[in-house]
Amino acid sequence: TCSFCAIPLMRGKHVSQPIEALVEQAKSLARRGVKELMLIAQELTYYGLDIYKKRALPELLDALADVEGIEWIRLHYAYPSKFPREVFEVMARRKELCNYLDIPLQHASNTVLERMRRQITVEETRDLIEYARQQVPDIAIRTTFLVGFPGETEEEFQELCDFVEDMQFERVGVFQYSHEEATLAYDLEDDVPAEVKADRANRIMEIQQAISLERNESKIGETVRVLFDRKEGGYFIGRSEHDSPEVDNEILVSAQDFYVRIGDFAEVEITEATEYDLYGRLTDVSK
């Protein structure tokens, strides 16, 4: 358990559902027209340890990918320590598995990671990310960082800035540390002032904003498969396999020039890019 996290105190121990039960649930959703599954857990890579005595996420993914009608499977909240690398082999092999991974790294200073009890070093983290990109070259990695953890110095924070700049993540979110009662970190002094926490969060996002803009601009001229979620403000709005709802990029297509049914997939040529949104035109529609 990380020293700052109160979720285990509220949710209790990890409980895995059998693969067969999850497959049946996926089949039921597919019969109702659901095309995208998002696997979310307190710690996704723990899956199977309690009932199968091993990390069984790769086997679960293979089984879910066989469910007819499910076209996208997306992974959320997978801890980097003890990550089952076979997941990347499944991702590379199964088209149903989105080339996307939400993996909260929290920090990039070994001294802060140790105080956080993250059970992984920066070097091990870097190796995991490089392995993921080697196995799945098209992977989009979303991560989150926590700034203002007790004792975080300017030097430790600069290590995080350098890491974000160096790793060029596709998606990044930042949280400011809050002192939660009953957590191990509560015994530490919450000694980073609120204004410093806010400034550090802004500095990380400024770095990432430039990275996001450059990455998005590089997509202009590409054609991507988009799942459309809604119509709003004169646009049909959807996402690529590299984007999770509400937190990632969106792709906007003019409703004046094109029509697409909500819940349908379509091929979209990217024509314009901003830091967090892409604009395009429809080239083909598929249900």
- HEC-encoded secondary structure of 64-91: HHCCCCCCEEEEECCCCCCCCCHHHHHH
* pLDDT of 232 over the 90 cut: yes
Tell whether 205 and 241 lie within a shared domain.
no
End-to-end CA distance of the chain: 43
- Provide the CA 81 distance to its chain's centre, in angstroms: 16
Question: Would you say residue 2 lies in a domain?
Answer: no
What CATH number has the domain bearing residue 24?
3.80.30.20
Tell whether 54 and 188 lie within a shared domain.
yes
* pLDDT of 201 over the 60 cut: yes
Q: pLDDT: is 24 or 233 the higher one?
A: 24
Residues whose CB is less than 8 angstroms from the CB of residue 234 and which lie 6 or more positions away in sequence, other chains included: 254, 255, 256
For the chain, what is the mean pLDDT?
A: 92
What CATH number has the domain bearing residue 276?
2.40.50.140
Tell whether 117 and 196 lie within a shared domain.
yes
pLDDT of 189: 66
Q: Are 45 and 85 in contact (CB under 8 A)?
A: no
Domain final residue pick, 167, 195, 217: 217
Tell whether 84 and 39 lie within a shared domain.
yes
Tell whether 12 and 133 lie within a shared domain.
yes
Tell whether 59 and 121 lie within a shared domain.
yes
Domain final residue pick, 164, 184, 217: 217
Q: pLDDT: is 123 or 182 the higher one?
A: 123
Tell whether 99 and 230 lie within a shared domain.
no
Instruction: Give the chain's domain count.
Output: 2
Distance CA 165, CA 160 (A): 9
Tell whether 27 and 77 lie within a shared domain.
yes
Structural domain that includes position 270: 223-286
When pLDDT is averaged across residues 15-31 and rounded to a whole number, the result is 98
Tell whether 198 and 235 lie within a shared domain.
no
Question: Would you say residue 1 lies in a domain?
Answer: no
Tell whether 240 and 151 lie within a shared domain.
no
Question: Would you say residue 262 lies in a domain?
Answer: yes
* pLDDT of 96 over the 90 cut: yes
Q: Are 55 and 97 in contact (CB under 8 A)?
A: no
Give the global pTM: 0.91
pLDDT of 229: 97
* pLDDT of 7 over the 80 cut: no
pLDDT of 191: 83
Tell whether 202 and 249 lie within a shared domain.
no
* pLDDT of 5 over the 50 cut: no
Domain final residue pick, 168, 194, 217: 217
Q: pLDDT tens across 253-263, in order?
A: 999 988 899 99
Q: pLDDT tens across 106-158, in order?
A: 999 999 999 999 899 999 999 999 999 999 999 999 999 999 999 999 999 99
Tell whether 134 and 174 lie within a shared domain.
yes
